[in-house]
Amino acid sequence: MAIRLPVLLLLAAFMTDTACSHRRRPASLSEPPADVTLQVTNHNFLDVTVFVLYDGQRMRMGLATGSSTQSFTIPGRLVAQSHDIMLLGDPIGSSERVRTQLFTVHPGQRIEWTLETDLRQSSVGVY
């Protein structure tokens, strides 16, 4: 029994040392993709709920208040895979909706979406 105790202590010290060591991941895996900034300028008098459509899913970004400019953050992981998204605007108090064409965006870029009084004349740009 006296011989086993030093062996067990040595084994415990080794296991503690190995459990506490950290391996570094490659830089490409450790940093998440950069977020995308979505700036919505709403010239319409109605508040518009803004959604991002991607991979058959819909994510609510927030509310673009009438006659104002709002900024939203789209997580970089959302656009890192397919890069193709659409924007959807759902005005509160109206049955009309506005949707952009499918467009490509990469992590770190900025999207500017201008909602006009006539929502059919709205425009989007990627920078």
For the chain, percent of residues with pLDDT exceeding 90: 70
- Mean pLDDT over 19-45 rounds to 78
Fold topology of 32-126: Immunoglobulin-like (2.60.40)
Q: CA-CA distance, 65 to 120, in Å (whole number)?
A: 18
H helix runs in the chain, sequence order: 4-20, 27-30, 76-80
Delimit the domains of the chain by residue range.
32-126
- Mean pLDDT over 32-59 rounds to 96
Task: Give yes or no for a contact between 77 and 54, defined as CB atoms under 8 angstroms apart.
Answer: no
- Each residue of 71-95: pLDDT tens digit? 999 999 988 888 999 999 999 999 9
pTM attached to this predicted model? 0.75
Confidence of residue 21 (pLDDT cuts 50, 70, 90): low
Task: Give yes or no for a contact between 85 and 79, defined as CB atoms under 8 angstroms apart.
Answer: yes
Q: CA-CA distance, 59 to 70, in Å (whole number)?
A: 17
